[in-house]
Structure 1
């Protein structure tokens, strides 16, 4: 354990002791405050089959439960006497049932039948009731607690919102829907999102799939929702950036036979088709399937830049019995794109000195081709009404054959001395998880237990060793009078006669990790106060470019959440993470891992009977052992750095008024260097954040009248005081201009057909990001598209 972490342990114990003292005091005051009992029961469909995911709540309290796959539920700590249960599920009639609770006894109710309600189901599908708001996390986050009670800021982007904004993949506008999340420059193959001062780790179905240059950005055709978890969440991902992660949840079978076909066209020769099939393969509904297909051809506002993709994503789920199911999922993503890096432009004089359609691409360079495969096998077993076991295996493999463009230098007269380098790469990752969720009661205290084991290996290799100049004494690309066709003698001839493993040499990055974790959420006073105690022991072996490190680190988590009433809660959280770092300094000494500490507090509130909610959070993240440039040799790094990021975040989402849905957010972020070998850098901002970020998306749809189904949407993205992610505060131009982008849409839909026209960048603003790049003695930047449109049509059957 490193010295920085050792110094932090006394602080951990002080925080832990203080929270335990509070909990003990509450326990003493409340243990005999009220006599309680429990309620158990089972919910069935009209044909006597168990009904899962039914909400069972005790009226006038926060007490409640969700039925398991066997349709069973248990509600603990219910005050003795007559109580009313409110039982509800989307697409079914709501039922109110009166029950008499006897002190210190379990009251078992007769089976309750919940009938389908076609009108209510149609209301949800057609009118989109609360389409932007989520109340519970996905099962892949392993939590059984409603989001309003979780002592952490977690924001969920639902499939309906992705569809309304016509977002095609993770490289597009996903970030606009969550406070403080910004998309950085891209290579058009993987998504880099920043939040709270550093990169956000990508998860898929609860597994950390991040590699240095991957995975391939997910296409939205296979995505059910995206969950942004802010802060380290050490019990889930101790070996990751303390900023947090986003979890892409893929579509699964629902057991309901239905389908949807979609087609879209857009600016820059964009064409896209999707098909989503959902249903059952056996009459008893035990074997279910989901199949998503997508094909896309997409150009760009820059010439000779394109990204053609297709996706195949079949899923099978088999219910062995009412307690046990197995789900098998496979996804194949194919991408053929122009040479990676063609989105970058270089200039010697200033940022954005050329028109936004300028490009350094050449028309006769070979494209880059990527094959991305992933597979999941998931076992879910309901041990009892209170305990559930989940096991999950995943395999990812990624193969890339292509090249990347960059510039050696740029001149004031517009000449850009380009080069092209080979970028063949392969990635293989294997993951395993097993965890158990359960609930036990000791006196008046309910314990929600989570414990499990994570295993994983990741290996990425690449050939970056071959490069060719795209200029000679007779030909130099000039952005003021471009010739996009390379002479035959300058076309690169990469040698692929030997295996990638041989060509990669030391360019191999690998990591293996094992993590054991446990969490106890202690719920007091009829669930009004919740104390979370958790910890994770992670052992990680990391290797990069021939240097190796091995670390075993314990990361604690302490949180407390209290309900002021059934619609309002406050919380506080202390959490840790660590991030292994490979490589050596000038003396050949290995680097210690980054340690990250997060302090967070917030307020969550549901409004208008739960139709919309708001979250306000404040936080401070400290990162220790950050690498900084060696002042005696800029080709090396030294490890004496520390950064601190603090901020305020506000998120509002849901149905603000009948038929009026809103997503609006704001984040203030301040990231600074607090320790550095160069004392003059202390106090300067870190790269890759914007001090002020605010976004909104407002959507209104008519529910009655002759124009029923007609909808209008407007939104904006606004960033102020921006710092490029690939520069530092001492560069020639550390800050970027403020950006404001407005978007709008008009649509119409009924229960079968939907048509939507989206127009992005309504004011046709020249938006870009970039920095001064000292190595090329030039500025680089990427521009966003000018005003553009997408027209989509979909049919449900």
Structure 2
């Protein structure tokens, strides 16, 4: 059966499936949903008695009997991590209120939902784990609560997100286990009443929770919550701080909300707060915070900045490595960060769930989603080189019961640059709407339009920049294209939906569709320096609206949980369909030569009369995949997965009247194991494979096309937490081999043809550390050692060479601190060092880009609903090279720049 027939059949099946589950939409209930946001609103963290309204109706929480665990028992048998649940209660605030007996800590839920408890004592600590709950502000941001020495006899009270699905409250006594009473209020939430040493004697045994006798009628007077203290309340020093830089879970690795510590792979997350603190305006800025990632064969000023290398292998839109909300995108050349919630980088082969991709890894950006509470934000950033960028972010409910919600992000950017004539203009508009149809069904409809207009910039030659030119050094501001040519205008529109329905607590279905419409209207130039080291020849190309692409993706996932005896299974069954086409016609002309040191740009007009390319290509992919996360015990997990792909490709070269067709199949497995000898440590090992269709633009001399390239990875690693979960770290070691690489045909007379014998290998070690070691201090540290080389090639001189733009050593350190109390509360500052080692500038390894250290810094001041900040990039104005494509295209990094930002939200 042809792929097209399969697509039609599956589309019909999908439509029937949607009709079957549609009746579940008839029920409408009010429900508070856990959302994500980038709001800067701060949680009130200091409450006195007069700030909390008295509660007149209070019922006790029934006592939960659990055996006392010793610290030794916890080491030998780690506490169970709560599996992620789709019904997570949002605790929107934590208040501390002095009472006559001591202090009470109130966990406020969004609508008074009941919370389950699992309490125990360890040493002098009274610990309560609250499953299926998360600390989230109404705007969606995570936070933590900490009170140092709040009352006599109590060393500390903390409330934190223990994992992706559990809140942990810890009351640390100074000389014994504190006495804590638990209450539940229908108006305020869960209340913990902590007695001071002066009000009660601490005991070294299991703390008691009060409970009414079973025979006591409800009408009788119940024991009351301790009343608030009088005119002289105890002053509490309480610090509330968002968990800004550390994400406990990620969806990219397993397509489920699996805690990162349970995933047998290295996955790094750059959350929204990092983008804000560093004022990241593109993915290049964001991915400096991830080990093993470097900029690819384009510079930040080009029209194609979304090209990177991960673990030594190139990633870009064409090879299936860039995703938005888990769906592959093909056309987008620039990602506006105004609408990005976080960036996730899954390292290693990802074909088991996503199909075609390079073996180094994939990049997935998740977008901001609608909030249940009104939120209005505006931001203005201005800076060096006439940089100007206003942005808005507004969200809220569309009806009284908040079952319909919206969000709109929009940004406009206009800027110059350090290169002559290179001025950019970019527009981004991203609306999204979410609808709840009953408590079990949600539909989200999302759009994302981005338009970019920028002159073509193809860098500078290596001779005169990296390499010595006897005639002098070329200024970094030199422009070798032509200002009389038209800008490159790229328009990319994403529109689609995500549907989710929950059948039960254990089974749910997801369905998503995305359409991407990409068009190009551009002039671009290919310059080349001649042997005299002065003359630059220039070939010009024009695509006057004759580059149009359409890509469509449909995904359906069935997610379930079941047990086989004592073994738990987290299951994923899914399929996806991709079909896309590109219609491209290119015209060619010749520009007058240019003097590298004294350019004159207005000598002639290009005549684009010769058609150099006229093609129409199509690709249809159908993939089936299955995954099982098996929990043999609480601390031993196995991840098994496999995917089978069918790929149809066709190319119609209308210039040569030749047509090429190819059908391929591929199986991509993944096997991984995670062992947690103690609670904060995860040891893992994994094996995975990838595949990538070779495309039809390169052929053998006999006219045949090439089979897909294949990748294989072995990886081991350790994930751990330090300082009671305040810092997390991942150490990974890997080896990746990529085979069936297409290389030039060495046979005389066949220079325009290729053969498939190439191989590339990469091995290395990576370290990523992220967290908040003390209140107010957030940091990210990375290091990567990457040993990448070409192991097979038709050109003998290339064997043993390093791929270009892959540094052997790379490291970064970023830290930002915000003062938590006193007259300077809200004032903050930060700094970062970004080191990139030597890199080869071309595959022939004829020149080397030198290493560099770039220093960035920031200062800011934040109040309740506004923030002002300055960001300094390349603080010491270091000359450095970001990347290179070959000897004619070397790209300088940006010199010293300042960005000033004022943002308000309410």
Q: TM-score range by the shorter chain?
A: 0.7 to 0.9
Superposition map of 1:498-577 within 5 A: 506-525=614-633, 527-543=634-650, 546-577=659-690
- CA-based RMSD of the aligned residues comes to 3.2
Asked whether 1:173 is paired with 2:285, we answer yes
Instruction: Give runs of aligned pairs for residues 716-795 of structure 1, distance below 5 A.
Output: 716-724=833-841, 727-728=842-843, 730-733=844-847, 735-769=848-882, 773=886, 779-795=888-904
1:400 is matched with 520
1:415 aligns with 2:433: no
Counterpart-to-counterpart distance in 1, 2:437 and 2:647 = 36
Shift of 1:235: 2.1
Query: C-alpha separation between the residues in 2 aligned to 1:162 and 1:307?
Result: 21
Residue 233 (structure 1) shift: 2.2
Which runs of structure 2 are paired with 1:432-471 in the superposition (5 Å)? 432-464=554-586, 466-471=587-592
| Alignment match of 1:64 (pick from 63, 71, 82) | 82
**CA drift at 1:761:** 0.9
Pick aligned residue for 1:479 from 596, 612, 617: 596
Residue deviations 1:232-277, cap 9 Å, x none?
A: 1232223111111000111111212112100000111110000000
| Structure 2, unaligned runs of 5 or more | 1-28, 37-63, 90-112, 121-126, 138-144, 146-158, 160-166, 171-182, 192-238, 316-320, 468-472, 654-658
Matching residue of 1:254:
371
1:693 corresponds to which of 778, 793, 810: 810
Q: CA deviation at 1:196?
A: 1.1
Which residue does 2:549 correspond to in 1?
Answer: 427
On the 8 A contact 1:511/1:543 being kept in 2, the answer is yes
CA offsets per residue over residues 688-728 of structure 1, 9 Å max, x none? 3111111121111111122111111111211113123xx21
Alignment-derived partner of residue 713 in structure 1: 830
State whether structure 2 residue 775 is matched by structure 1 residue 624. no
Residue 357 (structure 1) aligns with: 477
1:569-608 per-residue CA deviation (whole Å, 9 max, x = no partner) reads: 0100001111111331122222111011111111001222
Give CA deviations for 1:180-227 in whole Å, capped at 9, x if unaligned: 1011224324510111121231011101213xxx32321001111110
Q: Give the aligned partner of residue 108 of structure 2.
A: none
8 A contact 1:672–1:683 mirrored in 2: yes
Residue 408 (structure 1) shift: 4.1
Give the 3-state SS of the residue equivalent to 2:341 in structure 1: strand
**Which whole-Å CA distance do the structure 2 matches of 1:291 and 1:432 have between them?**
24
Secondary structure, in 3 states, of the residue corresponding to 1:235?
helix
Inter-CA distance 220–252: structure 2 relative to 1 (3 Å threshold): same
Residue 794 and residue 415 in structure 1: after superposition, are their counterparts in 2 closer, same or farther (change >3 A)? same
- Show the counterpart of 1:30: none
Give the match's secondary structure for 1:565. coil
CA distance in 2, matches of 1:167, 1:607: 28
Tell me which moved more, 684-693 or 296-305: 684-693
CA change 1:78–1:676 in 2 (3 A) is farther
1:322 match: secondary structure: coil
Query: 2:253, 2:370 → 1: CA distance?
Result: 15
CA distance in 2, matches of 1:330, 1:53: 18
Cα distance in structure 1, aligned partners of 2:831 and 2:128: 42
- The answer on whether the counterparts of 2:184 and 2:190 sit within 8 Å (CA) in structure 1 is no
Superposition pairs of residues 102-141 of structure 1, within 5 angstroms: 115=188, 128-138=241-251
Cα shift readout 1:525-550 (whole Å, capped 9, x = no counterpart): 2x210011111011112345643321
Call closer, same or farther: CA 1:504–1:435 in 2, change over 3 Å: farther
The TM-score with structure 2 as length reference comes to 0.73
CA contact (8 A) 2:359 2:711 kept: yes
| Aligned positions, number | 701
Structure 1 counterpart of 2:361: 244
Equivalent residue number for residue 368 of structure 1: 488
2: distance between equivalents of 1:524 and 1:707? Answer: 51
In the alignment, what sits opposite 1:704?
821
1:91: how far off?
4.0
Q: Matched residues in 2 for 1:392 and 1:215: separation?
A: 19
Deviation at 1:70, TM superposition (A): 8.3
Work out whether 1:191 is the aligned partner of 2:306: yes
Contact 2:514-2:552 within 8 A present in 1 as well: yes
Please list the CA deviations of residues 448-501 of structure 1 after superposition, one character each: whole Å capped at 9, or x if unmatched: 10110111012223223x222221xxxx42232233x423xx2235479xxxxx
- Displacement after TM superposition at 1:84 (Å): 5.9
Within the alignment, does 1:602 sit opposite 2:717 as a pair? yes
Other structure's SS at 1:163 match:
helix
The answer to whether residue 418 in structure 2 is matched with residue 301 in structure 1 is: yes
The secondary structure found in structure 2 opposite 1:564 is coil
CA distance in 2, matches of 1:543, 1:263: 47
Larger radius of gyration: 2
Matched, 1:215 2:326: no
CA drift of 1:656 comes to: 2.3
| Other structure's SS at 1:228 match | strand
Residue of structure 2 aligned with 1:645, choices 745, 762, 783: 762
Deviation at 1:780, TM superposition (A): 2.9
Per-residue CA deviation, residues 18-53 of structure 1 (Å, 9 max, x unaligned), is xxxxxxxxxxxxxxxxxxxxxxxxxxxxx9856658
SS at match of 1:507: strand
Aligned residues of 1:48 and 1:113 also touching (Cα < 8 A): no
CA contact (8 A) 1:69 1:382 kept: no
Name which of structure 1's ranges 360-369 and 387-396 shifts more when overlaid on structure 2.
360-369
Residues 255 and 356 of structure 1: CA distance in aligned 2, closer, same or farther (over 3 Å):
same
Q: Please name the residue that 1:273 is paired with.
A: 390
CA contact (8 A) 1:662 1:699 kept: yes
Could you say what secondary structure the match of 1:64 adopts?
coil
Q: For residues 628 and 269 of structure 1, what CA distance do their matches in structure 2 show?
A: 44
Counterpart position of 1:90: 135
CA distance in 2, matches of 1:139, 1:670: 26
Instruction: State whether structure 2 residue 157 is matched by structure 1 residue 157.
Output: no
* Deviates further, 347-356 or 359-368: 347-356
Cα distance per residue 1:160-187 (max 9 Å; x no partner): 10111111122x3122110010112243
**Whole-Å separation in 1 of the counterparts to 2:449 and 2:884:** 35
Question: How far apart are the structure 2 equivalents of 1:259 and 1:97?
Answer: 32
Structure 1, unaligned stretches of length 5 or more? 1-46, 99-109, 119-125, 497-502
| Partner deviation per Cα, 1:324-361 (whole Å, 9 max, x = no partner) | 010000111111111x2x24123655636312111114
Cα shift at 1:750: 1.4
Check the 8 A contact 1:279/1:289 in 2, yes or no: yes
User: Partner residue of 1:664?
Assistant: 781
- Distance in 2, Cα, partners of 1:175 & 1:152: 18
**1:491 to 2:491 alignment:** no
Q: Does 1:235 align with 2:344?
A: no
Asked whether the 8 Å contact 2:690–2:712 carries over to 1, the reply is yes
> Matches of 1:78 and 1:599 in 2, distance apart?
41
